[in-house]
């Protein structure tokens, strides 16, 4: 395939990096270079933030009424819907996830722009009752200004929608930075902003190595809000930079989510849910149900069901409709997963399916990780505490509900959890006892533009999606207005 050169969108212009440097985009399925992406540095970051700041302060965006912003967002949603095939193909080529999943996902993304487009002109302030005579007090919501939106490689356009749709509806401008491992779909998507009619500079897309230019972006004095999806380590780092200047942040980080199966569950449904939770997207999802908590009395029988499905999973070309598991996204990710598997075995976990590539002659060529299941796992092991971000399941036994809750909560993460049971009382009471931002009961991995999503504990701060999300991109101002005809003693202002 001919290598394609992409450009960045800065201030309405399509630009290479000022340095002229590029980096490669590698297709994880065949490991061929297929595109070159601009390698931005501080100068490009500065240009993008300047363009966003001007668009916010003096451009037509700053004078647009909210309904006009909403109409642009809805037009953008229409354009995404017309370009699903192209955008989904780019995502698959970039990150190796199944085309079947990416096309469904990209096909769903317009809903974010429709929903938040609809909210743009429904941001209402409030008149407050006051104890002060002759005073009128109201509050209004105002955008922050320039938002730095930083996304991970596993679902670049969906994660961008989580951020862009509410940020723009609220009246901010954006500098968007996708991951170095999957930048192309975002650069292609950026063309739709022009087509939709967004003024220049409202959305800017820069690409590069986060380790090189990330701090220039998050630490830029004209960036007022940071919305980040990625690892705990980078999230901590960004939090420190943001904290230094008291910038607002929304952080969506990692997870080590428990999928808890009780003996009274519908076991067929539960087995499908467990597989969907850990093998979908080759386990490269923040909400992966990577710890299977299994009740004693069904341990062997249920594990056999899960093994049967996992054993039959077809690894292969992510573009083909009958492939179940594609490659992992990059060589770095592949090596990291293999190191986790080696460590689990060294810690004494029992590998009953799959395993590290060098111990698995069936793994063949490419960045494929076989579905891997560990038993004999205790919850304090590395494999039960650290995010693997691969198709790797750790199975942990529990005897009763109390023990299940203890194990489920015994992690520094708190992104999501699954509960499988047909006991109504348990299904109603248990979610309140699980320390996670999302709890699924008799289902797994469901998300919606209408429903708040975000982590507890080190899985992050703030919420994306739903009405709550727009508040992440607004700050509240209180206005006092005196109606008194005479002013009082200047030394005793009330």
Residue numbers at the binding site for ligand NDP (CB under 6 A):
150-154, 177-181, 209-211, 214-215, 218, 229-231, 234, 237-238, 252-255, 286, 387, 389, 415, 455, 460
**In whole angstroms, what is the distance from residue 105 CA to residue 488 CA?**
62
Q: Which residue, 288 or 353, has its beta carbon nearer to ligand NDP?
A: 288
237 alpha-carbon distance from chain centroid: 17
Q: Which residue, 25 or 179, has its beta carbon nearer to ligand NDP?
A: 179
> Looking at 91, 180, 252, 387, which residue is catalytic?
252
Coil vs helix vs strand at 278: helix
Q: Which residue, 208 or 355, has its beta carbon nearer to ligand NDP?
A: 208
Distances (CA, A) of 60 to 120, 198, 209: 16, 9, 32
- Please enumerate in sequence order all residues whose Cβ is within 8 A of that of 102, keeping only pairs 6 or more positions apart, or say none: 88, 89, 91, 92
Write a three-state SS string for 398-454. Answer: ECCHHHHHHHHHCCCEECEEEEECCCHHHHHHHHHHCCCCEEEECCCCCCCCCCCEC
**In whole angstroms, what is the distance from residue 251 CA to residue 235 CA?**
7
**In whole angstroms, what is the distance from residue 458 CA to residue 9 CA?**
33
**Phi, psi values for residue 53, rounded to 5°:** -65, -40
Distances (CA, A) of 365 to 29, 315, 317, 326: 9, 11, 12, 12
Please report how close the Cβ of residue 158 comes to ligand NDP at its closest, in angstroms.
Answer: 9
Q: Which residue, 221 or 348, has its beta carbon nearer to ligand NDP?
A: 221
Q: Which of 187, 170, 120, 177 is nearest to 148 (CA)?
A: 177
Please report how close the Cβ of residue 55 comes to ligand NDP at its closest, in angstroms.
Answer: 22
Please report how close the Cβ of residue 189 comes to ligand NDP at its closest, in angstroms.
Answer: 15
**In whole angstroms, what is the distance from residue 242 CA to residue 263 CA?**
46
**In whole angstroms, what is the distance from residue 218 CA to residue 421 CA?**
44
Please report how close the Cβ of residue 437 comes to ligand NDP at its closest, in angstroms.
Answer: 9
Does the active-site annotation cover 485? no
Q: Which residue, 207 or 324, has its beta carbon nearer to ligand NDP?
A: 207
Return the C-alpha torsion angle 14, 18, 20, 24, nearest 10: -70
Q: Which residue, 140 or 457, has its beta carbon nearer to ligand NDP?
A: 457
Does the active-site annotation cover 427? no
* 79 half-sphere exposure, CB direction, 13 A CA radius: 17
Catalytic residues: 252, 286
């Amino acid at each position: 395939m001919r290598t394609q050169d992409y450009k960045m969108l800065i201030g309405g212009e399509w630009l290479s990096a000022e340095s002229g440097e590029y980096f490669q985009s590698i297709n994880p399925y065949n490991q061929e270079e297929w595109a070159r992406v601009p390698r931005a540095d501080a100068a490009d970051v500065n240009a993008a933030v300047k363009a966003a700041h001007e668009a916010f302060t003096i451009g037509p965006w700053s004078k647009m009424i909210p309904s006009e912003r909403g109409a642009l967002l809805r037009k953008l949603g229409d354009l995404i819907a017309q370009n699903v095939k192209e955008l989904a193909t780019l995502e698959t080529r970039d990150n190796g996830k199944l085309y079947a999943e990416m096309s469904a996902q990209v096909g769903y993304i317009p809903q974010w722009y429709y929903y938040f487009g609809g909210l743009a002109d429904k941001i209402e302030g409030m008149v407050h009752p006051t104890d002060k005579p002759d005073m009128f007090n109201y509050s209004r919501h105002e955008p922050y200004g320039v938002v730095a939106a930083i996304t991970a490689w596993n679902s670049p356009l969906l994660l961008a929608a989580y951020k862009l749709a509410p940020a723009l509806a609220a009246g901010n401008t954006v500098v968007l930075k996708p991951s170095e491992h999957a930048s192309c779909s975002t650069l292609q998507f950026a063309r739709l902003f022009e087509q939709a009619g967004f003024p220049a500079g409202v959305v800017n897309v820069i690409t590069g190595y986060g380790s090189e230019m990330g701090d220039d972006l998050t630490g830029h004095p004209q960036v007022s809000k940071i919305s980040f999806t990625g690892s705990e380590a980078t999230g901590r780092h960004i939090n420190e930079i943001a904290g230094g200047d008291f910038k607002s942040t929304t952080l969506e980080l990692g997870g080590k989510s428990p999928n808890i199966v009780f003996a009274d569950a519908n076991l067929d449904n539960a087995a499908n849910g467990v597989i969907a939770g850990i093998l979908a997207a080759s386990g490269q999802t923040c909400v992966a149900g990577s710890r299977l908590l299994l009740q004693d009395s069904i341990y062997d029988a249920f594990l056999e069901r899960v093994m049967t499905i996992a054993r039959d999973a077809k690894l292969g070309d992510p573009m083909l409709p009958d492939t179940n598991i594609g490659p992992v996204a990059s060589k770095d990710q592949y090596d990291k997963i293999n190191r986790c598997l080696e460590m689990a075995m060294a810690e004494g976990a029992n590998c009953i399916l799959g395993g590290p590539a060098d111990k698995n002659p069936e793994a063949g060529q490419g960045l494929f990780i076989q579905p891997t299941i560990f038993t004999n796992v205790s919850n304090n092991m590395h494999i039960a505490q650290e995010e693997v971000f691969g198709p790797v399941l750790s199975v942990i036994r529990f005897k009763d509900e109390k023990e299940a809750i203890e194990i489920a909560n015994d992690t520094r993460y708190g992104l999501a959890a699954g509960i499988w049971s047909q006991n109504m009382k348990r299904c109603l009471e248990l979610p309140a006892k699980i320390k996670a931002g999302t709890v699924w009961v008799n289902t797994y991995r469901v998300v919606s533009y209408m429903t708040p999503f975000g982590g507890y504990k080190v899985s992050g701060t703030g919420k994306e999606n739903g009405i709550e999300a727009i508040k992440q991109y607004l700050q509240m101002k209180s206005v006092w207005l005196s109606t008194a005809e005479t002013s009082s003693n200047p030394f005793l202002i009330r």
